[in-house]
Amino acid sequence: MSKIDLTTSAGAPVADDNNSISVGPRGPLTFDNHYLFEKLAHFNRERVPERVVHARGTGAYGHFTLSKSLSEYSVADFLQKVGDKTEVFLRFSTVGGGQDSSDYARDPRGFAVKFYTRQGNYDVVGNNTPVFFLNDPIKFPDFIHSQKKNPQTNLPDPAAAYEFWANHPQSLHQMTILMSDRGIPLSYRHVHGFSSHTLSLWNDKGERYWVKWHFKTNQGIKTLTDEEAAKQPPFGAQKDLVDAINRGEFPSWTVKIQIMTQQQAETYHINPFDLTKVWPHKDYPLIEIGQLELNRNVQNYFAETEQSAFAPSNLVPGTGGSPDKMLQARMLAYQDAHRYRVGVNHNQLPVNAPRCPVNHYQRDGAAAGCPFGHGNQVQTSGANYYPNDRAGQGYPEPNPAYREPPMVLSNAVVDRYDQLSEDYYSQAGDLFRLMSADQKSQLTRNIAGGLSQANASIQERMLGYLHKADPEYAAMVKALL
């Protein structure tokens, strides 16, 4: 193999990478150490701002294989032909901690899937839980602040978490999941994934269907207690996934969806767009549509996993959003976060770049025309605006055939709506009653451990919520307090 010269970032050969230029062997450095300056300046900028949430992540590539055509419900290209394979990138993550936090925190796990379809990237950005703590995004910054470290001491503050939950009964369902045995997964291979949000599909007749995505692990659900988690290495879940793929033990998930018509949504007794509630399977059974397998690790963690950019606004023809308030906010916030963290041209990075031609009039910005992409987003000369008078000369034009049908909102009045009369207790109680005695014991011990650090008012309100869910639920926690 021929020798390869080390170069500067501009391509010039480097003669010495061990010694800076100095005034004699014991003298100071000189100002013409431009290669030294290049290395130090780049080193100072090696990190982009970490995600405020989902900072600690692990990703891998694989594919989704369709086993049931959804042509009745959607024109989405990748959902038409049984046996069709679509490349995917899946990023798992914890939520609250930073990049160097433990993989074994009691925390939801992010489950974000990027489908590289022939008509663009479709992102399903969810968690390992079917619900969330909130259904109104105006409270999201406050919620995250309450779950992070105390702003004065920089220490964990369980009392603050329960203070927030005591003021937001909509969090009860997700809190019950978090504090249960499923709050600490054994590994990323042993978690389910959910879109959590209600999304939509639309067909060639202009009919829209509401849909929830479910990714059911084929490895089975496995979890840890607090005591078991404390004995695990902090990067254990990441290592487990990398090692399993390297061994050829490719983890997989059975992909299922729930479907609801627009007419059903208008009369269903549960708000189908409330992120704190599930659709009961007895009313809307799971429909199996395929298999998702992970079979290739990343080659560069920073370039791929850290700079991967998922957004629920990444939709393709045949797919859409919904009136879910949290989803509506995320469709704005996620793209904005990526522009801040990675840059306005983040979709030109290979991990984010679509596997299909990209034609638009967006120009300039940092890393414009990035040569590391898939060769499909180079910014060319000529017209950088639309409309123009160059039809048929290689300039892109909108195609009305892909127009999304209107989203019908019956009897809607623009206003602010409080949630004082909403039922945020029944589904949490249903979940509690499904648990075994051991699961109930773990759940209530985990709640009592944090709630014991809150004041009497917070404890009283939380016990009131638990009693509405199930009297036994409240009694078990109260006895431990």
Active site residues: 54, 127
Question: For the packed helices 158-166 and 140-147, what is the interaxial angle rounded to 10 degrees?
Answer: 150
Integer CA distances (angstroms), 285 to 68, 111, 213, 280, 463, in order: 15, 22, 12, 8, 33
**What is the H or E stretch that residue 404 is in?**
none
Is 442:181 a contact under the CB 8 Å cutoff?
yes
CA–CA separation, 343 vs 165, rounded Å? 35
CA–CA separation, 229 vs 184, rounded Å? 7
CA–CA separation, 39 vs 317, rounded Å? 45
CA–CA separation, 301 vs 96, rounded Å? 20
CA–CA separation, 287 vs 258, rounded Å? 6
By C-alpha distance, which of 462, 466, 473, 467 is closest to 435? Answer: 473
DSSP of 146-176? HHS--TTT-S--HHHHHHHHHT-GGGHHHHH
Angle at the Cα of 248 from the Cα atoms of 245 and 252, rounded to 5 degrees: 65
Residue in this structure with the two tokens 């996620």, named with its chain if needed: 334
Is 177:129 a contact under the CB 8 Å cutoff?
yes
**What is the H or E stretch that residue 257 is in?**
strand 252-261
**Helix-strand-coil percent breakdown of the chain, rounded to 5?**
30, 15, 50
